[in-house]
Amino acid sequence: MAPQKSAKRKVAALPSNVRPTASKGDKQENPLFERRPRHFGIGQDIQPKRNLSRFIKWPKYVNLQRQRKILRMRLKVPPAINQFSQTLDRNTAVQLFKLLAKYRPETQQEKKARLNAQAEKVAAGQQAETEKQLVVKHGINHITNLVESKKAKLVVIANDVDPIEIVVWLPALCRKMGVPYCIVKSKSRLGTVVHQKTATALAIVDIKDEDKQSLASLVEAVNANFTAKSDEIRRTWGGGIMGVKSQAKVAKREAAIAREVKLSA
């Protein structure tokens, strides 16, 4: 009778609470500080702060502003409207608004005080002062008349007028009549000059002798940025900028076409 082979029996594994834990580099833990990992499940620890702007229900006017900006990037914009995206540089704009601040029109309170002072002088038998005030002109109809009569020395146009048809023809009129013009950011910034919420355009007509040099330097800078580039402005279209996904699809398609051309060659 053949001898039986002795089968090797496997030893049962130790329980999990008895198994020796493999430590990396025998790192000693401080018993004073207990490790308490956080769990972010439902009903567990407080969730960390995240950027939730994608889930916010924004006001309707904010959504309209963003959609308008995206449409202007996607659609092709004709040169007559695209010229309003090219505004005056910051340093020149600072000098321009410093000059405009000197010729702000008087407020209702200042006008009332001036008229009361004149009335008191007339009542006292003195001659009232009738000096002409030098202020910036505002109002699109008034500015149009000043440009057509070539009385305006500098026209300042806002770039965010809505609807844009109010001022879209004004740069062409200024170029035709030989009047210097510039486009600046924010119609509300122009409005603060004339004590209003917004202003579509401002015009400088008369200034003092001490400010003629600063006006001449401004006109020179403005002509270099706008009037001298009139031919380029009339030919430059805007928009046509697609999104990231569309650009990736076009790049992928072009790469595939280039690969096929290379293989066929």
User: Residue 82: which of 253, 213, 239, 203 has the closest Cα?
Assistant: 239
Q: Check residue 7 and give its pLDDT.
A: 59
What is the structure's pLDDT at 80?
Answer: 92
pLDDT given at position 189: 94
What is the predicted pLDDT for the residue at 217?
94
Nearest partner of 200 among 236, 156, 145, 240, judged by Cα: 156
Cβ atoms within 10 Å of 68's Cβ, excluding its own:
11
For the packed helices 170-177 and 140-148, what is the interaxial angle rounded to 10 degrees?
20
One pLDDT digit (tens) per residue for the chain, 265 residues: 555 655 567 777 767 666 565 555 556 777 788 888 888 888 889 988 888 888 889 999 999 989 988 988 899 989 999 999 999 999 999 999 999 999 999 888 888 888 888 888 888 888 777 777 889 999 999 999 999 999 999 999 999 998 899 999 999 999 999 999 999 999 999 999 999 999 999 999 999 889 999 999 999 999 999 988 888 988 989 888 899 999 999 999 999 999 999 888 7
The predicted structure's pLDDT at residue 17 = 61
Confidence (pLDDT) at 11: 72
From the centroid of its chain, how far is CA 205?
A: 30
How far is 153 from 262, CA to CA, in rounded Å? 61
Instruction: Identify whether the C-beta of residue 206 lies closer than 8 Å to the C-beta of residue 72.
Output: no
Helix (H) or strand (E) holding 207, with range, is none
β-strands 201-204, 154-158: how paired? antiparallel
Query: Contact at 8 Å (CB) between 193 and 102?
Result: no
Nearest-5° angle of CA 68, CA 72, CA 73?
120
